[in-house]
Amino acid sequence: MYDTDGVQKLEFVQPIRDKKKIDSIKKVLLANNVRDYCLFTLGINSGLRISDLLNLKISDVVDDTGKIRERITLREKKTNKTKDFLLNDVARKTIAEYLRNRVYEYNEPLFLSKKKSAGKAPLQRDQAYKIINNAARSIGITEKIGTHTLRKTFGYHAYKSGVSIEVIQKLFNHATPSTTLKYIGITQDDLDGVYLNLNL
């Protein structure tokens, strides 16, 4: 969604709660473009902001021997803080699959724009938005989906898998647990489910 000046409006977007829909989006993206599949998969497995995802270079994910790194260390664009985190097996395999058929130099952007006029420029945020949004629409998701959906999906599924909200709050650098709950789309129904399912 854009305003009259062509600037993307920040909308309140949702996480993708259904794991089957996540798998369907992966299939759609992989069939069309392995770069876009890698962007989506790395996004939902790292919780990075889209600005940090798009700023990644090959050297951030590949060591000087050509192996996929086990950790990524970067400086967050928004906070200017250093972030250091492990890459899980899914993320590492996806990066390897993406780079297998790509000729690259270590200082190039990981997610390269396909625009000829851009040269060796990274994929732009508006293009990432279109990629994610179009894939979601193609599998029937009607909720608002955008670039923040990747980060929110990571947080939502971390929480649902049993990671404490305080840990996710720290990962996201939020001020309060309630901010994090709201951000990752935990609804009253989710909270009510705790009471309904806990029959001691």
| Active site annotation includes 182 | no
What is the tens place of the pLDDT at every residue in 124-166?
Answer: 999 999 999 999 999 999 999 999 999 999 999 999 999 999 9
Domain range list for the chain: 19-150
Q: Which of 17, 92, 148, 157 is catalytic?
A: 148
Assign domain 19-150 one CATH number from 3.20.20.140, 3.40.50.300, 1.10.443.10, 2.60.120.650.
Answer: 1.10.443.10
Please identify which of the residues 17, 152, 157, 174 carries the catalytic annotation: 174
Distance separating alpha carbons of residues 87 and 72, to the nearest angstrom: 7
Question: What pLDDT score does 29 carry?
Answer: 98
Higher pLDDT, 101 or 52: 52
Catalytic residue among 17, 35, 49, 152: 49
Tell me which residue of 144, 139, 190, 163 sits closest to 47, measured CA to CA. 163
pLDDT tens, position by position, 33-91: 999 999 999 999 999 999 999 999 999 999 999 999 999 999 999 989 889 999 999 99
- Buried (b) or exposed (e) across 25-38, using 16+ Cβ within 10 A? bbebbbeeebbbbb
- Give the separation between CA 7 and CA 44, rounded to whole angstroms: 25
Please report the sign of the dihedral spanned by the C-alpha atoms of residue 21, residue 23, residue 24, residue 29.
positive
Predicted pLDDT of residue 7:
37
